[in-house]
Chains A and B, each alone.
Chain A
Amino acid sequence: MADATQTAPGQTGPMLSADGTPLKQSLARSLRNQKLRALALIAPLLLFVLISFVVPIGQMLFKSVENDIVAATLPRTVVALQEWDAASGELPDEPVFAAFIADMVVAVEAKQHTRLGTRLNYEETGMSSLFRKSGRQIRRIDPIEDAPFKEKLIDVDEDWGKIETWATIKTHSVRITNGYFLNAVDMQRTPEGAQAQPEDRQILVKLFVRTLMMSLAITASCILLGYPIAWIIANNPARVGNLLLILVLLPFWTSLLVRTSAWIVMLQQQGVVNEVLVWLNVVADDARLVMIRNEIGTIVAMTHILLPFMILPMYSVMQTIQPTYLRAAKSLGATNWTAFWRVYFPQSVPGIGAGSILVFILAIGYYITPEIVGGTKGVFISNRIAFHISSSLNWGLAAALASILLAAVLILYWAYDKIVGIDNVKLG
């Protein structure tokens, strides 16, 4: 910097650096170079995150609103249907049927019609086989010579003579849809706008609430169990502390499935805990406790599995707390409790905060443990997402559910920042 401040004696005007350029410019350039160098250093990571994380997840989440398939498979029909109003109580006119036959002949040729049937079957039961069966027969209809088509199509399948069939096609013909998001909150897109699903099909909101509640319960039990352990590890000689730390980490290195299945062996009705209780005559043989395949099973198993994520940040924060503070507090007349509560605890809060965020965010997206030990009352929304990804293939709904989950986590994170303050989180 010393050479940058040199100026020629007697010169007025802007200060110049050694090579004669104005100092301001020169400084800006060197700052820019520094920034570029830093960017080049993180570029590999940035690219990696972008390519392997942001882009695919963004694409997946976009499926929650994307609905090209109807308009792309039945372009003429969608245009022709614009004139028609489902509320009129009458079937669409001949032009719609003609457009539909023309579209279907192309779609059957490209084998796109069954794909469309699958899509529409998410909304209206029976669409899947209607498109599959009709496809076979429409192949034999000539899109020009065989007019008029209305009668012929209704002959192929009487469902084409139902207003609901056409209303479903029209309702879901938009290219960007809110339908999946409505489904994700137990509602549906209808010709009359958004409406609630029938009560006996409402499940997803309930699962969202359950996921949040149980994740909070798991986080709370992790704090209660983890705090004393972290305290003992941090406040004992290194030899004892390290041994305890290994005990904490040991299950961490064991397969997740093994740990989860071990809880089944422990908690099932013919399991270790029940056998011992029966042997001790605490419970009767025919009244064994149900502790697995319900909420209790999920909370117990997940608390155990996530506990290291709570203990480790707590421990690393507690390690930095000077023991002299506690001694000072006591020498000034504080009781053990006051010294702990007023002096030690506030300093350990950042560790609790970091642990809680970790545990809660991991818990909210957990899938495999609830699936195995959750039964019917202990499953999470992620189990439904997995079902729609790999079993029902309704990726749009899965993406909508995942987007809502992501938004919920971000909102909670924001709320945490407002209430506790994110600066108050420490990993060590």
Chain B
Amino acid sequence: MKMTKTLLASTAVAAIAGGAMAQEMTIVSWGGAYSKSQLRAYHEPYTAKTGVTIINDDSSAEAVAKLRAMNEAGNVTWDVVDVVAADAIRLCDEGLAMEIDPDVHLAAAPDGTPASEDFGDLLVSPCFIPQIVYSTTFGYRTDLVGDTAPTDVCAVFDTETYPGKRSLEKRPINNMEWALICDGVAKEDVYDVLETEEGQNQALAKLDTIRDDVIWWSAGADTPQLLADGEVVMGSTYNGRLFSVIEEQNQPVAMLWDAQVFDLDGWIIPTGLSEERTQQSLDYIMFATDTQRLADQAKYISYGPARASSAPLVGQHADLGIDMAQHMPTDPENAKNTFLYNYEFWADYRDDIDAKFQAWLAQ
């Protein structure tokens, strides 16, 4: 009889706990060093605080397609999804991501500044909860560039001073902008020019001048590998990848921060979750995007926290012990000349310019 009682009691406890909050949630992210930084900065403290088990799924690269398929099948199995801002906008457009009210669902800064002001312009879509600012920028081999290290992004197009291959991402985004800037278009006019057929041709013509010297990459790990092998002199990739090549693997590589393109990465909550799971996800988001948590993530990876109030709290790398502030893309020394990814423009022109770009590549 005692046994039955114990069983009944424990079932009741489990039922109460389960009723209050689901015991498990699936969080989708990019994997690798990035997921590890989230695990240590967000997941572990959250589990310690609430007892919720977090299951990691490294599917962010196909998140939009998979969410669409899950939605069509009527069975969404993800609770919180990490996506880049452009994907968040598309998920929001398709009704696959939930709209968030920053001042209700996100924590205010320690000094009381409401979240909507603390995140400011980075709230690029009503569904998007910004987490980090990262940049796509160039790294170069210090031993292969001769005596004058490049300081200007147009070094990429200067094959006479810097002979050798360069690696660029196999898509028009960012490359078209850099091509125009290096073809004499003013930074603020780039998207006006790129809207026109002539502007697109101008950018492709500029890329044509280095066509034979380019290795096109499609995975973020390609450029670090190509730099480490000495296959390329310089190449574009995400700044966090270059950080690990330089600081963790000690390769002879340096950053060329000039004309780095800022982009955002953050969370979305899928639509179609049960009320209980939605609440659970909101609870997690409230916790994981507060000022301290965002600053904590920068201890493990060199991406800048999306909150203004987190920046002063960025400290040292947890394992390497180096000061992280100077490795942030947002550091004033690195951010002298920057470029902000234009979400609206690429949402419209992506299909069209991509077709043109791919046709150009295949020539």
Contacts and interface: CB of A to CB of B under 8 A. Distances in A.
Interface of A: 111-112, 114-115, 117-118, 121-122, 125-129, 132, 197, 200-203, 206-207, 268-270, 293, 371, 375-377, 384, 389-394
B348 A393 contact: no
Interface string B36-71: 000000000000000000000000011011001000
B231 A203 contact: no
A377 to B, nearest CB: 7
Contacts of A377: 362
B359 A203 contact: yes
A114 B216 contact: no
B356 A389 contact: no
B229 A270 contact: yes
Contact of B62 (A117, A129, A203, A390): A390
Nearest to B62: A390
Nearest to A397: B351
A384 B355 CA distance: 10
Contact of B65 (A128, A132, A376, A393): A393
Contacts of B347: 121, 128-129, 132
Contacts of A206: 362
B182 interface: no
Q: Which of A115, A132, A200, A206 has the most CB of B within 10 A?
A: A200
Given A115-B95, A376-B216, A389 B351 contact: no
A270 B230 contact: yes
Given A129-B348, A203-B355, A390 B64 contact: yes
Interface in B311-363: 344, 347-352, 354-356, 358-362
A392 B351 contact: yes
Nearest to A118: B93
Contacts of A122: 351
Contacts of B94: 114-115, 118, 393
A117 B348 CA distance: 9
B348 A126 contact: yes
11 contacts: A111-B95, A112-B95, A115-B94, A121-B348, A129-B348, A201-B355, A384-B358, A389-B65, A390-B64, A392-B351, A393-B90
B227 to A, nearest CB: 11
B215 interface: yes
Contacts of B344: 129
A269 B230 CA distance: 9
Nearest to B92: A114
B93 A128 contact: yes
A112 B361 CA distance: 35
B356 A115 contact: no
B218 interface: yes
Nearest to B361: A376
Nearest to A132: B93
A197 B215 CA distance: 28
A185 to B, nearest CB: 14
B351 A117 contact: no
B48 to A, nearest CB: 35
B215 A375 contact: yes
Contact of B348 (A111, A112, A125, A389): A125
B31 to A, nearest CB: 14
B218 A201 contact: no
B10 to A, nearest CB: 39
A114 B93 contact: yes
Nearest to B360: A200
Contacts of A121: 347-348, 351
Contacts of B348: 121, 125-129
Shortest 9 CB-CB distances between A and B: which pairs?
A114-B93, A390-B65, A125-B352, A203-B359, A376-B361, A111-B95, A201-B355, A390-B62, A129-B348
B359 to A, nearest CB: 4
B162 to A, nearest CB: 15
Nearest to B226: A268
A42 to B, nearest CB: 28
Interface string B226-240: 000111000000000
Nearest to B211: A376
Contacts of B349: 125-126
A361 B201 CA distance: 38
Contacts of A202: 359
Nearest to B349: A125
Nearest to A392: B351
B223 to A, nearest CB: 13
A371 B355 CA distance: 17
B362 A376 contact: yes
A111 B355 CA distance: 28
A115 B90 CA distance: 9
A200 B68 contact: no
Contacts of A392: 350-351, 354
Given A128-B93, A293-B215, 4 more contacts: A112-B95, A125-B348, A270-B229, A376-B361
A394 B347 CA distance: 13
A202 B359 CA distance: 6
Contacts of B95: 111-112, 114-115
